[in-house]
Amino acid sequence: MSKINKICKNCVSDTSIQNIKFDKDGICQYCKIHSELEKEFPLDHSSLDKLKSIAKKIKNDRKKSKYDCIVGISGGRDSSYLLYIVKKILNLNPLAVHYDNGFDTETSTSNILNVCSKLNVDLETKVADWETFKKITRSFFLAGVSDPDTPTDIGIFKTMYEIAYKEKIKYVFNGHSFRTEGVEPLDWTYMDGLYVKSINKKNGKNNLDKFDNFTLFDLIKFNILGGIKTILPLNYVEYNHDEVQKILTDELGWTYYGGHHHESLLTKFVVSYYLPNKFSIDRRRTGLSAMVRSGKIKKIDALKVLEKKPKVDDEKYLKDYILDKLDISDKEFKLIMQMENKNFRNYHTYYSYFKNFGVFAKFLYQLGFIPKLLYLRYYGKD
């Protein structure tokens, strides 16, 4: 008999999420985090004015740099729309930054070039050292953890802040929206430089000198000493996927790539095949939960979406392509799929230190050096 998961009374988060908590009314901690963020970023007639006020301050703060801010771009919908808002609505002069990990689709590459060209935005691309990146990502699969795309996330993060620091830019813009993306559970995806080192030490022993890792030293250098702040503009605007997609398609020559996170072949494989089949993790659950809380979709309709497992038409080709590119044999992959499921809690990370410094972390988010979303993701809202 299959196990029946307990589900939140409000959203579609359930006990398939490790360490989920429910209060006496059956409401999960992610709904409480959402409520906290609604207080921080209420959507009303003054929301856009608040964002424009932030943009005005950013313009006034620019002194030594040619650019007002950094905007990371992947060719996906969120980052493309973020660049549109920054340039067209806020009239800022951004530098678009892309981290090429070797898994971009032709569609995402075309989107990046089209969007930057149409918006007249300069683009800087950092190409990862392939052999190093391949070995690090391979070690994450061999570790049996649920977030083998963490090296990519780390690389993106490091690249944006490194370029901001070099160009003397004080603001990095992030395309996350808590109303459509939600809060990713730590037990599903976790990111820190010590985690990368620990995974590599046990499963790869590769030289990390050419990997774009983000360490505690980088946090101090870029955010605290460098004074670089993170801004999340999509939290200030109404975000409707269909309307956004129409704007991007009609005005910027943008093309949809078939599914959420499918702009990257690696992430497409992770969310559509690896996680559902090995961990019974459906990452759509966090986004759908967020949209239920935001009133963008009814709970019953979200549950209907989740009834069907994530699937891609080119599943076998995609799997063979990823395994071949990462030098993982079929035999190794079968062992990976059968081994004990693990996550960041099985490895040495900064988390063991971070969890004891909640007051300091709160101070950093209040000063604007880390987003409140990041603070709440690590320290929660019971």
pLDDT one-digit tens code per residue, 345-375: 999 998 877 777 666 677 777 777 777 777 7
Domain count, the chain: 1
pLDDT at 180 over 90: yes
Furthest-apart CA pair in the chain: how many Å? 65
For 297, the token pair is: 């979709």
Please indicate, yes or no, if residue 3 is contained in any of the structural domains. no
Please indicate, yes or no, if residue 4 is contained in any of the structural domains. no
Please indicate, yes or no, if residue 305 is contained in any of the structural domains. yes
Q: What is the pTM of this model?
A: 0.92
- Segment 103-149, tens digit of pLDDT: 999 999 999 999 999 999 999 999 999 999 999 999 999 999 999 99
Compute the distance between CA of residue 134 and CA of residue 128 in angstroms, rounded to an integer. 9
Please indicate, yes or no, if residue 72 is contained in any of the structural domains. yes
Please indicate, yes or no, if residue 112 is contained in any of the structural domains. yes
Which domain CATH number covers 100? 3.40.50.620
Please indicate, yes or no, if residue 101 is contained in any of the structural domains. yes
For 44, the token pair is: 């009303």
Tell me if 77 sits within 8 A of 248, measured CB to CB.
yes
Band (376; pLDDT cuts 50, 70, 90) = confident
Band (382; pLDDT cuts 50, 70, 90) = very low
Residues linked to residue 69 through DSSP beta bridges, in sequence order: 94
What is the span of the domain harbouring residue 334? 29-379
Please indicate, yes or no, if residue 12 is contained in any of the structural domains. no
Q: Which residues contact 9 (CB under 8 A, 6 or more apart)?
A: 25, 26, 27
Task: Supply the DSSP string of 89-116, one letter for each residue.
Answer: IS---EEEEEEE-S-B-HHHHHHHHHHH
Please indicate, yes or no, if residue 19 is contained in any of the structural domains. no
For 31, the token pair is: 């709904």
